[in-house]
Amino acid sequence: MTNVQKQRVVITGLGAITPIGNTLSDYWDGLMAGRNGIGDITHFDPAKHDCRIAGQVKDFNPSDYMARKEAKRMDRFAQFGVVASKQALADAQLEITDLNADQIGVLIGTGVGGLKVMEDQQEVYLTKGPARVSAFTIPMMIANMASGLTAIHTGAKGPNSCTVTACAAGSHAIGDAFRLIQNGYAQAMIAGGAEAAITPLSLAGFASAKALSKRNDDPAHACRPFDRDRDGFVMGEGSGILILESLDHALARNAKIYAEIVGYGTTCDAYHMTSPVPEGLGAAKAIELALKDGNLNATAVSYINAHGTSTPANDSTETKAIKKALGNHAHAVAISSTKSMTGHLLGGSGGIEAVATTMAIYRDRVPPTINLDNPEEACDLDYVPHTSREMTVDVALSNSFGFGGHNVTLALQKYVA
């Protein structure tokens, strides 16, 4: 493969299951309207918890998309991934057949996988004994199953894998899928992230780490990236999936092209389990690498979909990283955190945020950062407060940073023949 000319890679299909909408159009309309998807937790009784709010997916019935028996043998995160993948394939009008199946792969990242199944079956084990534990516990729990089940449901027989890099997992999956197509190992990939970690143990763990907002009396304003009054992130759930294709493959079937993915930068802070390296050096390097990979100048960037978690550490550090990577041009770039509306989907966040970034390029309109009433002094860039903005978006970046020091930046641009 060393002598194969690198393929151009384009985005031809999008799927989204999110706290503000369970289709691409509903999700995009929600972003443009600044819709809040955060509210009281209803998946379980959170009365004992310090944090009792989250961005839950509403009105999702997996039986609308698959047989009830099949749905019962999947954790919620895998259900999200399979359904969003089917949406994306339908949007791309890409049919998988015996002739092309081995050239179409799946790469769906997740932070924790089937956590709900693990918690539920642990309770069964403790109260009823080992003989009562479900035979499907392991295949429902393991993190690769969103990718595996998506292949089973779609027939994709090409490269199939799963990235598990905390909150960078979805973006890593898209970046790795981009590389597979670019280097000739696949013609198309179903790629993104999926997560369903709003569970008692997960909520308690993040709360004990002092990572979550405790604004239980005002969930609509709890997630406030870059705002001086932010007090932590809000958990979310869902899935965002992109169909990536080689340009030749897309053109041969006259596919609609949303945008082109041109750069992928990934680094590690090698610093701390949960805190970013000071001054955002690792994140800045990921941005720089994505630009270099895409043969882009910093001044070409129009928009950044920020990681923007609404935590004190991330938002100021990410601002420093953007300034370091883009120099003076940082102040001319529109930046927004869509987590202000969806909450933080952990390993699924890179997926839905790449969908948002793609649509921003395709529609020439960027989502807002809601709840940004009083920007922190250290957060002094253009974060598109409150309302969406019409503007030409030729080049856009999507940032994702994960526990363990994982940093990913994806660089996308308008498709030009």
Catalytic residue among 153, 172, 307, 406: 307
Task: Check: CB of residue 188 under 8 Å from CB of residue 94.
Answer: yes
How much is the pLDDT for 1?
43
How many domains are contained in the chain?
2
How much is the pLDDT for 3?
56
Stretch 101-111: mean pLDDT: 98
Catalytic residue among 167, 223, 249, 379: 167
- Tell me whether residue 170 is exposed, middle or buried, using C-beta atoms within 10 angstroms of its C-beta: 0 to 12, 13 to 18, 19 or more: buried
The residue with tokens 């799963």 is: 162
Residue 114: pLDDT band by 50, 70, 90 thresholds?
A: very high
DSSP-assigned letter for residue 417: -
Whether 167 sits among the annotated catalytic residues: the reply is yes
Stretch 57-68: mean pLDDT: 93
The residue with tokens 């294709």 is: 245
Residues 318, 393 within the same domain: yes
Domain boundary among 193, 228, 252: 252
374 within some domain = yes
Convert the pLDDT of each residue in 295-350 to its tens digit. Answer: 999 999 999 999 999 999 999 999 999 999 999 999 999 999 999 999 999 999 99
Whether the predicted pLDDT of 165 surpasses 80: yes
In terms of residue numbers, what domain contains 157?
A: 10-252
Stretch 119-131: mean pLDDT: 97
Residue 166: pLDDT band by 50, 70, 90 thresholds?
A: very high
143 within some domain = yes
Stretch 262-289: mean pLDDT: 95
How much is the pLDDT for 4?
63
Stretch 81-108: mean pLDDT: 98
4 within some domain = no
Stretch 179-207: mean pLDDT: 98
Catalytic residue among 172, 344, 379, 406: 344
Whether the predicted pLDDT of 221 surpasses 70: yes
Residue 278: pLDDT band by 50, 70, 90 thresholds?
A: confident
Residue 258 CB contacts under 8 Å (≥ 6 apart), including other chains: 10, 11, 12, 14, 358, 359, 361, 362, 415
* Strand ordering across the sheet containing 104-109: 160-161, 104-109, 188-195, 238-246, 9-17, 259-268, 406-413, 395-402, 303-305, 334-336
CATH number of the domain at 88, please.
3.40.47.10
Whether the predicted pLDDT of 2 surpasses 80: no
Concatenate the DSSP letters of all residues of 181-233 into one string: HHTTS-SEEEEEEEE---SHHHHHHHHHTT-B---TT-GGGT--TTBTT---B
